[in-house]
Structure 1
């Protein structure tokens, strides 16, 4: 029987998932990657400060977790120590606090009403918990959205991500795909477009100080800063802590605007950080933070995986369910299933 040959363009999470799945099914697979290392934006920078290349995470309760475990593809994980998890801080009304506003808690309950697809989150959440709670919840959801105005997105879309990101201990794990923009250029298909976030990234190394927060979530505006070495001390040299900030910015805002907001959070949660800085890096991630669904749309409305003529699209902005990297994983499995199914059909007809 003729052996099926598949070509995978891009060695990110979607590309690698597709390649492994296809190879296990007996296909001959070739992976092309422009970067000198694999991993996409799940890559970790080299050097003494091991930062993420871009915002990405694996959620331990997601559909890909079992798949990875079965293949022994989950490396060592550093869970958040209980003491560190207790140091989660929230900025609300300009002050640092330990607990979210009561109105926001209404939206985090498992028994909360299922949000609709065709209404924006702020409108729906305001009806459920009032404007203050709705705004705080929307801003907190930006942890997994990287969007400057989470309240304007589909209520169902934001609610799912809010429930996942609000769990303690956190589900998200940061591991040690071809974007729609790249696919649009490669395939010459202008229809390959979908809304995404734009995020200012601030990476800092600071000298260790007892009492620093584990993470601070901004409920006044979208934004999040995490002390990554709270989970894994190997990410920075001894005596230093690695902080990573992700501040969504609007189309009209500059990197400097996002950095200024990050510094406000740092001032609240990390006393004396300016005098403790040993290393710093700033960047903007645009079109690399996954899809966001506007009211009236869901993942089913995003660019389809099957592009015709034997071309299949996988990544975190295409028509597949899940949160962040789960979209890459699910779309990769769908792409391989469709590709192998089509090839099998062609062989039977030959």
Structure 2
């Protein structure tokens, strides 16, 4: 069969490359940077930070896929004691428990929420206006959006339900997400995938690759739009201020603080993985969503207010600090009346397929990248019913993997 080319070495790209190679297809993966990873790239140095707070949801489709292939590696859960230190800012003060109405609402599945009504309107009818606003702010932990209440009720409720699940679904790859990417890269290499780093593909290069066989474009939607020259490749995403801090350790600091007065979240990631910071220090990361016209300073000011409450004396304990803005790189958000099926299609025609966190695939955040990467690879390899019914063994394997992507 012709060689498949995958453009982008993040989670979507490696998922696509591995899926295609497991079908016996020759694959080349092109990564523009010297190291793969995309948004899952972990910084090198004393502080192992990701691009914003990252977590792997235990019930997500990529959890089972990675685990079956031995790619999951060591993961950390929130220690029981630390879990009791989850705090909530409400009314300008720190609370140990959220409003009961928020918990009641979070227990309901997304099937109870309508697609064509905004979340705040629907939630107000369920638990009242005040609790609906609080729930909207809390859901930003999995949305990175400045006003989740304006989004589709079904879309937000799915994220609220999973983000507030007990026991928590969130797990953290020990050593950062780069460890997962490294294992995926090794798997791809062992399957015969040719991985070319510092290999930036432009529009002319894409045309050349397309003549050689199918191409999976596993980049951000902005990059894909420029690469394909397709102005239709647009979808709403979030915009958020990011803050990373290394603080000298102090007993009694919160594990995490959810801002219920406005969307925002601060978490002490070294609580569950001590390898992320040197001994005697703790790594704290936060994200505070910004409106389209708000400068980063607004989000950072809110972050500092939350830090004052949950991490007393933090200013005198700072060993290292970094700030950034993430725009259009936080996954797709669905407006009322839309679902993931309305996002840019994976099959772009002429043997070109799209993967990433803003395309037409289900899931939360990185799960969309995984699902779209797998689907793009199956389409690119011709893994339709004809391919999947060649042998009984192939049929069983593919059915298992596609079932895992249904969520």
* TM-score normalised by structure 2 residue count: 0.82
Counterpart of 2:77 (choices 68, 79, 91) is 79
Query: Partner of 1:291 in structure 2?
Result: 332
Gaps of 5+ in 2: 179-217, 388-407
How has the CA–CA distance of structure 1 residues 7 and 93 changed in structure 2, closer, same or farther, with 3 Å as cutoff?
A: same
Alignment of 1:242-281 (within 5 A): 242-281=283-322
SS at match of 2:39: helix
Alpha-carbon offset, residue 342 of structure 1 = 7.5
Alignment map for 1:189-228 (pairs within 5 Å): 189-228=230-269
Give the corresponding residue for 1:89. Answer: 87
Aligned 8 A contact 1:216 1:226 in 2: yes
Specify whether residues 263 and 200 from structure 1 end up closer, same or farther in structure 2 by C-alpha distance, changes over 3 A only.
Answer: same
Select the residue among 157, 160, 164 that pairs with 1:159.
Answer: 157
Structure 1 residue 168, shift from structure 2 partner: 3.5
* Contact 2:269/2:284 (8 A) holds in 1: yes
* Structure 1 length-normalised TM: 0.95
Q: CA RMSD in A?
A: 1.7
CA deviation map 1:98-121 (0-9, x unaligned): 111122122112479700000000
Partner of 1:117: 115
1:172 shift after superposition:
2.2
Shift of 1:345: 8.0
CA distance in 1, matches of 2:378, 2:309: 49
Q: Deviations over 1:203-250 (max 9, x none)?
A: 000100000000000011000000000011110111001000100000
Post-superposition CA distance 1:321-345 (Å, at most 9, x none): 0011111111111111111117998
- Cα displacement (A) at 1:93: 1.1
Q: Unaligned 5+ residue runs, structure 1?
A: none
Cα distance between partner residues in 2 of 1:303 and 1:319 = 6
Matches within 5 A, 1:23-172: 23-110=21-108, 114-172=112-170
Partner SS for 1:202 = strand
Length, aligned pairs only: 344
Distance in 2, Cα, partners of 1:24 & 1:32: 18
1:20 to 18, 32, 50: 18
Of 205, 222, 234, the residue aligned with 2:275 is 234
| Distance in 2, Cα, partners of 1:108 & 1:342 | 38
Q: Higher mean Cα deviation, 50-59 or 76-85?
A: 50-59
Alpha-carbon distance in 2 for matches of 1:153, 1:172: 23
Describe the superposition over 1:40-62 as per-residue Cα deviations: whole angstroms up to 9, x where unpaired: 11111100011112444321111
